[in-house]
Amino acid sequence: MLKFTEQQELLRKVVRDFVESEIAPIAQKIDEEDTCPVELFKKMGDLGFNGVFVPEIYGGTGLGYTELAIIAEEIARYAAGFSMGLVAHTMAVYAIMTWGSEEQKQKYLPRLCSGSFGALSVTEPGGGSDFMGQKSTGRLVENDWVLNGRKCFITNSHCMEVNVVSVRTGEDSKGRPQLSVFIVEGDTPGQTPGRKEKKAGLRGSFTGDINLDNVRVPQDSLLGKPGDGAKIGLGTLGEMGRGGTASVALGILRGCLEESVKFAKERVIYAKPLSNLPNIQFIIAENRTDYEAARLLTYNATGLKDAGKPCFSEYAMAKFFATEAAVRAAKRTIDLMGGYGVITDYPVSRYLRDAVTMIPACGTSHVMQVIIAGGELKK
């Protein structure tokens, strides 16, 4: 049985109050204007949301990954795009918290917990799924590392102040690419945001290119050791990013469920509420079941992570199921509403755009299936 602690229930209430008063009223506007409400991120920092799983000595709230999922779900209930901005930020935070030196943690985590945006930059135009195929380079020149290349599809590209970026720094003894990860201050000369993508959904967060043109960073910007890039990048996506994206999809699923119930009760057809029709009830039942299943998978994975247990496959299952279920639920809810479903005064067509846009973020459904099957076949 899924059971939250009293403290977690209280946190959910605090986040929900914040979301209902500060985010829900502008959710449609930020989608229409395709912008990220960066000023709200500072407020979330003050409330302890942005570094909820970071120990208090580094400026965090000292809670866990389940609490992060609660926050991401609640924000995504109304604004999935903005929630995705928080999720991407937490990947940068997690990488520094997990692999950073004491100096790096003291230098970056308090800032990131209190309102500065972080970004994790791994994807390149050559293919996000081909993680080891990254072409951007890092070369040691005198005492500095010099980074060159182009990262694409980076969430928070146009608002980040700290970029955690992976590049190729050489080859191992078998000729395989060696990746390393660097922490790069947002205003470092040579690092510039490039094209900003016009996404179908998740429009409450910026997604775009980050260009690296002879970006010179000191040696103490290296996260972990040279060659730790695959461990850091894949570990962060697998045990942080996917929990976040599953939680965002959970928020969309709850939106579909609540909107379908509300509309079915309010809409009168044949002089009776729409909810009297059996096919409408089937849709509500499917929305409820998909939400519940996604919730169980997601909070099971975060519970394992909080307990320090293996959770890579569990996060992949949660991400795969929740994002695909959100697409199905949004389509069904549009069907339930008839013509009103496609009218943008209602949020459900946005839910469909948001849900579809979730699929590639942090790894496509195909890649999730490869990971899940790989885990089974290895047993």
Ligand X SMILES: Cc1cc2nc3c(=O)[nH]c(=O)nc-3n(C[C@H](O)[C@H](O)[C@H](O)COP(=O)(O)OP(=O)(O)OC[C@H]3O[C@@H](n4cnc5c(N)ncnc54)[C@H](O)[C@@H]3O)c2cc1C
Shortest distance, position 129 Cβ to ligand X, whole Å:
3
Q: Which residue is nearest to ligand X (CB)?
A: 128
120 binds ligand X (CB under 6 A): yes
CB 243 within 8 A of CB 69: yes
Complex with ligand X: residue 18 or 168, whichever CB lies closer:
168
Q: Which stretch binds ligand X (CB under 6 A): 1-9, 107-115, 126-134, 273-281?
A: 126-134
Using CB under 6 A as the binding rule, whether residue 366 contacts ligand X is answered as yes
- Cα–Cα distance measured from residue 159 to residue 30, given in angstroms and rounded to the nearest whole number: 15
Residue 25 backbone dihedrals phi, psi, to 5 degrees: -65, -25
Residue 195 φ/ψ, nearest 5 degrees: -65, 140
Q: Which among 206, 243, 248 has a CA at the least distance from the CA of 35?
A: 206
The nearest distance, CB 367 to ligand X, in angstroms, is 5
Q: Does 367 bind ligand X (CB under 6 A)?
A: yes
Binding test (CB under 6 A) with ligand X, winner from 27, 44, 154, 337: 154
- Quick check: 367 and 319 in contact, CB under 8 A? no
The piece of 153-161, 211-219, 263-271, 296-304 that touches ligand X (CB under 6 A) is 153-161
Residues within window 238-257 making contact with ligand X, judged by CB under 6 A: none
Distance of CA 362 to the CA centre of its chain: 7
Strand segments, DSSP code E, in 74-176 are: 117-121, 137-141, 144-155, 160-171
Assess 13 for contact with ligand X (CB under 6 A). no
Binding track, positions 160-199, relative to ligand X; x by CB under 6 A: ---------------------------------------x
Instruction: Report the distance separating Cα 375 and Cα 359, nearest Å.
Output: 21
Q: How far is the CB of 349 from ligand X (least distance, A)?
A: 18
Q: Kindly state whether residue 150 participates in binding ligand X, applying the rule CB under 6 A.
A: no
Q: How far is CA 202 from the centre of its chain?
A: 10
**What string of H, E and C letters represents the secondary structure of 42-65?**
HHHHHCCCCCCCCCHHHCCCCCCH
Q: Please choose, out of 32-40, 44-52, 69-77, 356-364, the segment that lies near ligand X by the rule CB under 6 A.
A: 356-364
Strand partners, 75: none
Among 8, 98, 114, 364, binds ligand X (CB under 6 A): 364
Smallest separation (angstroms) from ligand X to the CB of 31: 14
255 and 78 in contact (C-beta within 8 Å)?
Answer: yes
φ, ψ at 68 (rounded to 5°): -65, -40
Among 55, 281, 370, 375, binds ligand X (CB under 6 A): 370
> Interface mask (CB under 6 A) for ligand X, residues 269-308, using x and -?
----------------------------------------
With contacts defined by CB under 6 A, name the span among 210-218, 247-255, 324-332, 353-361 that binds ligand X. Answer: 353-361
Cβ contacts of 87 within 8 Å, gap of 6 or more: 72, 155, 241, 244, 245, 247, 248
Q: Between 63 and 92, how does the x/- string for binding to ligand X read (CB under 6 A)? A: -------------------------x----
The burial class, CB within 10 Å (0-12 / 13-18 / 19+), for 235 is middle
Residues whose CB is less than 8 angstroms from the CB of residue 235 and which lie 6 or more positions away in sequence, other chains included: 98
Binder among 160, 184, 202, 257 for ligand X (CB under 6 A): 202
Task: Name the site residues for ligand X (rule: CB under 6 A).
Answer: 88, 120-123, 127-129, 153-155, 199, 202, 207, 357, 360-364, 366-367, 370
